[in-house]
Structure 1
Amino acid sequence: MGPDLLKLLLTPTLIIAATLLQRRWATLFGGRLVGLPLTAASSLTLLTIREGEKFAVQTAIATLGGQLAIAAFCLGYARTALNHRWPIALPIAVCCYAIAALTLSRHNFSLPALEFLVPTGLAATLAAWPALTPREVVSIPWELPARITVATVMTTLVLTAATMLGSRTIGLVASFPLFASLSAAYGHNAAGGPVAVISLRSVVVGAFTSSVFFLTIASTLPLLGALGAFPLAVTATVFAHIAVNLFTYGLKPRDSCIGRMNEWQLASSA
């Protein structure tokens, strides 16, 4: 299979497979499988093939730090959305992401430092999250085709600009939550700011899972090579995804360890 054909097929295949698994075994896998870092996994796989393992490791480290920029985006949108409409909330959130990404790009954080900073930053973001009463989460019509299109476009842009921008910058660019921003703006416009706030909280929770993938790749790729590191990273990420969802949501809505804005509770209480 040629690189161009692999680029076109890998990301949609992962998203479709995750969606089918979610519909069949959602409880077993713990929540939304589409919350896994599917776009990042395909992008890093293709970058490893095209640019080499060293470039992929540096990109993984940068993308790990990029989870803090995602948290800044989500918190910026959440705080703004409670009092303003999406044309104001979205630009403010983008500015928050840009400031965080610029700060990260100017400091060459080591992998051990990011192991501490990323989970701490994500936990602090959840601690600062606005508390809301339960309400229904609004889904985008044709969510699966939209998700596939956005992910494929993002993967193509990452691969096209990788050499020009360098591993650190492309890792931060690739971290931008494009689909989440579109979904939040749609929900905000359709049903109000609180719906967007609830939607983006799940993105922050998902960043814990994504961090495991990037950390595993950055730690093991130089030692195990692509054939060893990527299967290990996928396995670790799936287990982390299950653990995070069980801790956050519990086996049943009432079992949640984090009582605020539980997506399963919201869906069941509507």
Structure 2
Amino acid sequence: MTLFYLKLIVTPLLMWAISLAARRWGGLLGGLLSGMPITSGLVMTFLCLEQGTAFALGALPGALGGLAAVQATYTFYLLATRRLGVASAVLLALLFYGLAAYVFTHWGNLYLSIAVALLLIGVLIRASGREPRPDTLARPRHRFWEIPLRMVSATCLLMVITSLASWLGPATSGMLAPIPVIAWPLVVFAHVQSGRFGMAAMVRGNAIGAVGVIAFYLVLAGLLEAWGVAITVSLAMICAVVLTVGLATVLRRR
């Protein structure tokens, strides 16, 4: 019951904080925060505590495959919206994510997933940085229900994945861990409210944050058995934050 209440409290609070940060400081920071291993970190932590470290380690290849699928989906969406409307592009992107996640998880491997994810991260950073800045930026109109809806969505997804983990198995549970339940609504809302430039800034932040997610998973893979859940997850999160902030700083100076 303690773990249940932790899921019920921590997840919506994180979504609330990230949504407010994105609203206050803009799409790039919102993308960075939502792209970091927050939802996926919570999922992996609860999988460790509820299913054991062996199960969590078995889920890591699927998680990295899912992360590669997420980056492929962002690339697809960024390109598709040059010709399609938001609604059509979102629907096709979600279908594309399901296909890509299945392919990477069941037919790929750990190293292929990492290589593809890093390649797509580079593509996204380069492509999103080339979006022309409009002469005037429209002031986004925020709906009162946006943040509560995101909080409920993130919490429900975490509950479903961790509750069904023993039935889904480690591969599928891992594949579902990096689903951008926080980032994806932010990207779509940014696109609707601020146009392609706002959406591209959010995607760019997510791509930069994904480098930290890869580091997070690799630290788990290397240290979880030897160092235990608490120390390993803490170190993995620190590595993810340091790497993400460092990369963002370097890219900003350019």
TM range (shorter): 0.7 to 0.9
1:61 maps to what in 2?
61
1:211 maps to what in 2?
214
| One-letter code aligned to 1:233 | A
| One-letter code aligned to 1:84 | L
User: Compared with structure 1, are the counterparts of its residues 93 and 39 closer, same or farther at alpha carbon in structure 2 (3 Å cutoff)?
Assistant: same
Q: Give the alignment's Cα RMSD to 1 decimal.
A: 3.0
**Are 2:89 and 1:89 equivalent residues in the alignment?**
yes
1:34 maps to what in 2?
33
Alpha-carbon offset, residue 89 of structure 1: 0.7
Which gives a bigger RCO, structure 1 or 2 (Cα 8 Å, sep 6+)? Answer: 2
| One-letter code aligned to 1:100 | A
1:131 maps to what in 2?
130
Q: Select the residue among 188, 192, 195 that pairs with 2:195.
A: 192
| One-letter code aligned to 1:122 | I
User: Compared with structure 1, are the counterparts of its residues 102 and 114 closer, same or farther at alpha carbon in structure 2 (3 Å cutoff)?
Assistant: closer
1:12 maps to what in 2?
12
Q: 1:171-250, aligned counterparts within 5 Å?
A: 171-249=174-252
Contact 2:212–2:243 (CA under 8 A) maintained in structure 1: yes
2:46 maps to what in 1?
46
Alpha-carbon offset, residue 44 of structure 1: 1.3
Distance 1:114 1:95 in 2: 19
Contact 2:60–2:221 (CA under 8 A) maintained in structure 1: yes
Contact 1:68–1:122 (CA under 8 A) maintained in structure 2: no
Can you give the 5+ residue segments of structure 2 that lack an aligned partner in the other structure?
Answer: none
Contact 2:78–2:200 (CA under 8 A) maintained in structure 1: yes
Distance 1:243 1:82 in 2: 31
Distance 1:180 1:15 in 2: 10
TM-score between the two structures when normalised by the length of structure 1 = 0.77
Contact 2:68–2:114 (CA under 8 A) maintained in structure 1: no
Select between 176-185 and 81-90 the one with higher mean Cα deviation.
Answer: 176-185
Deviations 1:197-220 (A, max 9, x none): 332232222211111111111221
Select between 159-168 and 180-189 the one with higher mean Cα deviation.
Answer: 180-189
Alpha-carbon offset, residue 100 of structure 1: 1.5
| One-letter code aligned to 2:72 | A
**Are 2:153 and 1:150 equivalent residues in the alignment?**
yes
Deviations 1:41-87 (A, max 9, x none): 11111111110001111223321222211111111111111222111
Alpha-carbon offset, residue 101 of structure 1: 0.8
Question: Matched residue pairs, number?
Answer: 244
Equivalent position SS for 1:177: coil
Contact 1:12–1:152 (CA under 8 A) maintained in structure 2: yes
Contact 1:19–1:34 (CA under 8 A) maintained in structure 2: no
| One-letter code aligned to 1:159 | T
Q: Select the residue among 152, 157, 168 that pairs with 2:171.
A: 168
Equivalent position SS for 1:178: coil
Distance 1:16 1:192 in 2: 23
Contact 2:40–2:179 (CA under 8 A) maintained in structure 1: no
Can you give the 5+ residue segments of structure 1 that lack an aligned partner in the other structure?
Answer: 250-254, 258-270
Matched residues, percent identical?
23
